[in-house]
Chain A
Amino acid sequence: MAAIDLQHHGNVIVAVLSGELTLANAQHLRGELEEALSTQGVTDVALDLAGVTYLDSSGLGSLIAVSTRARASGCRILLYRPSKEVHKLLDAAQLSGLFPLLEDEDDLLTLLPD
């Protein structure tokens, strides 16, 4: 089961995800993230995936659905610290490059407001 912790930094939200992201919680996660996207003035949501232990196709599908929804709001969904497994899944699904990536803390801090 995945947990989500939302941290607000001005126009950027860092969503810290942990646990497994699968069909069982994809809907819940999608709802939480879509609510976060509706926050006034938000331009970027960085999904911190360092604590995600497993991601299946339905989990990935929910991230894509959220990303599509985000674009409809003029926002971006970025993947922060995706694990090797997440990179492999994106490669296998031919979806590398679909999400902007923040590989480390420096990348994230560059994104955060001054």
Chain B
Amino acid sequence: MPYLLYHHFDPTFDHQNLKPGLAVGKGKVDHYNLGYVQNVVKGQVLAEFIPIDDTDDPVIDRNHIFEEPLLPVGPNCKVDPDSPLRVVADANGYVFYNDGLITVKRMLNVRRDVDFHTGNIFFVSDIAVHGDVRAGFEVQGNNILVKGIIEGATVRARGSLAVEGGARGSGGSGLLDAGDTLRVPFAESMELRAHGNILIEKFCLHSLVYAATNLVVKNRLQGGTVHCNGLVYVETHLGNPKGTPTATRINMGYDPFTMRKLDRLEQHIRELQDSLTHIAGIAGNLGSDSAPGKRLDNARKKLNRLIRQREALWAALTEDEARAALCRVVVPGTVYPGVEISIGKAFFEVEHEMNNVSFSLADGSIVATSPAIIKKKA
């Protein structure tokens, strides 16, 4: 009896020959999302043999009809232990045919820039981008290595993120987000987020930084805002040596990601309050059963919910205050006037140039001590 090899993926998919998709409902071609890979997860059924009677059915691709059910099992695939006629993925990755075998690759190597030729890349496992990530594009994966420069693009790694070239934002866009460690030679006008440490080998300029543990900048940290809940170490220069056209702010002692959530919530509340004023104007003296009246009622309920959420977040932040005592800003180099440091509820503004100092909390105030690093005696 002949068998049809039924695929649960597109066996003809060719990432070298991607075609733009249509942005649904927007009536335009989307060059940003081309579907660069076919993601699969470990255990997912990729193909199966189905016995068939009619091999002349025009719907069936004759290339997939076989006399013997010999599964084309390639690397990182296996025969389903529960069904000998099925191939399942044995790893997370992307699926394709290689030398006639169904193959899953765990590592996605993008051997070029991420741009209009590749579209955005969304992958379930690790990615290495051998070129740049161009403005407006997005890469998302597990651990990610980018060998080139990130220019106003978004890169989100669920694990670690390493950028060898550097990162520069443009027009308010540019985000590096890591579930673990983030490492980059330089960052300028970017948003950086890491649930682990952030290591910047050269400079960090005018960026918004959220580091759940430590931030290390080997050369200069200037402009922007840092939210960090451990150690901020700036080797050479902290702040702007030419005065204070743009302040450099460091906020410590609270979980940076709760702070971020709170900022977003505050913004949402402000927007909803503005919207409420507008809706109330429309609703006027109409009853609560009218459409504008119902909308007003819903908006009020939503505002109350958001305010409750905000209170809960503030409560969570307050519980975290003991953490503030462990926070430090350490600068073996120079700190310039205009730098603002908050640790918990305490605030310190640098008014005069300081050298080789460490800032920490003592009796509810921020104190500066020198030297920055106290070497233990042998």
| A57-B158 contact given A41-B25, A95-B92, CB 8 Å threshold | no
Q: How far is the CA of A68 from the CA of B22 in the complex (A)?
A: 14
CB-CB under 8 A from A74, the residues of chain B are 23-24, 26, 30, 33
Q: Do the beta carbons of A93 and B24 come within 8 Å of each other? A: no
Contact between A73 and B306 (Cβ–Cβ < 8 Å)? no
A67 to B122, CA, bound (A): 9
- Does residue B42 face the partner (Cβ distance < 8 Å to A)? yes
A57 in contact with B41 (CB, 8 Å): yes
A16 adjacent to chain B (CB < 8 Å)? no
Using A74-B33, A106-B305 as known contacts, say yes or no to A64 and B41 having CB atoms under 8 A apart.
yes
Once A95-B41, A98-B158 are accepted as A-B contacts, the answer to whether A75 and B24 lie under 8 Å apart by CB is: yes
Chain A positions within 8 Å of B92 at CB level: 93-95
Annotate A41-64 by CB proximity to B: 1 below 8 A, 0 otherwise: 110000000000000111011001
Q: Quick one: CB contact mask for B79-114 with A, threshold 8 Å, 1 for yes?
A: 000000000110010000000000000000000000
Determine if B21 and A57 form an interchain contact, defined as CB atoms under 8 angstroms apart. Answer: no
Complex contacts, B302 vs chain A, CB 8 Å: 109-110, 114
Check A58 against B45 for contact (C-beta < 8 Å).
Answer: yes
Count chain B CB atoms within 10 A of each CB in A71, A95, A109, A110 and give the residue with the most: A71
Which A54-92 residues have a C-beta within 8 angstroms of B?
56-58, 60-61, 64-65, 67-69, 71-75
Is there an interface contact between A58 and B8, defined as CB atoms closer than 8 Å?
Answer: yes
Task: Give the residue among A57, A60, A75, A106 with the most B Cβ atoms within 10 A.
Answer: A57
Give the nearest-CB partner of B141 in chain A.
A98
Count of chain A residues near B, Cβ 8 A: 34
A72-B158 in contact (CB<8A): no
Task: Give the shortest distance, in Å, between A112 (CB) and chain B (any CB).
Answer: 8
Q: Which residues of the partner chain A approach B305 to less than 8 Å between Cβ atoms?
A: 106, 109-110
Q: Does A93 contact B122, Cβ atoms closer than 8 Å?
A: no
B75 at the interface (CB under 8 A from A): no
Q: Which residues of B contact A26 (CB under 8 A)?
A: 8
Contacts of A40 in B (CB 8 A): 25
- Residue contact A96 to B24, C-beta cutoff 8 Å: no
A98 to B124, CA, bound (A): 8
Whether the Cβ atoms of B42 and A57 lie closer than 8 Å is: yes
Cα A73 to Cα B24 in complex, Å, equals 5
Q: Which of A42, A57, A110 contacts B44 (CB 8 A)?
A: A57
Residues in B neighbouring A114, C-beta threshold 8 A: 272, 275, 279, 295, 298-299, 302
Docked-complex contact A106 and B25, CB < 8 angstroms: no
- Determine the distance from Cα of A9 to Cα of B161 in the docked complex, in whole angstroms: 37
Residues of A within 8 Å of B88, CB to CB, are 57
Once bound together, how far apart are the Cα atoms of A98 and B299, in whole Å? Answer: 31
B143-180 contact mask (Cβ, 8 Å, vs A): 1 or 0: 00000000000000010000000000000000000010
Q: What CA separation (Å) do A27 and B38 show in the bound complex?
A: 15
For the complex, what is the distance from the CA of A26 to the CA of B48, rounded to whole Å?
15
- Provide the residues of chain B in CB contact with A67, threshold 8 Å: 122
Residues of B within 8 A of A69 (CB): 35
Q: Would you call B42 and A93 a contact (CB within 8 A)?
A: yes
Q: Mark B60-78, 1 if CB is under 8 A from A, else 0.
A: 0000000000000000000
The reply to whether B120 and A71 contact each other, CB–CB distance below 8 Å, is yes
9 tightest Cβ-Cβ pairs between the two chains A and B:
A57-B43, A73-B24, A61-B44, A72-B33, A97-B158, A40-B25, A72-B21, A57-B44, A38-B24
- Residues in B whose Cβ lies below 8 Å from that of A94: 92, 125, 142, 158
Q: Which residue of A lies closest to B295 (CB)?
A: A114
Residues of B within 8 A of A37 (CB): 24
Nearest CB of chain B from residue A39's CB, rounded to whole Å: 7
Given contacts A67-B122, A110-B309, 7 further A-B contacts (CB under 8 A): A57-B43, A60-B41, A60-B44, A65-B39, A73-B25, A74-B24, A114-B302
Residues of B within 8 A of A39 (CB): 25
Residue from A27, A42, A58, A110 within 8 A of B25 (CB atoms):
A42
Q: Tell me whether B40 is interfacial, beta carbon within 8 Å.
A: yes
| Interface residue? A23 (CB, 8 A) | yes
CB neighbours (8 Å) of B45 from chain A are 23, 57-58
Bitwise, B171-207 to A at CB < 8 A (1) or not (0) is 0000000010000000000000000000000000000
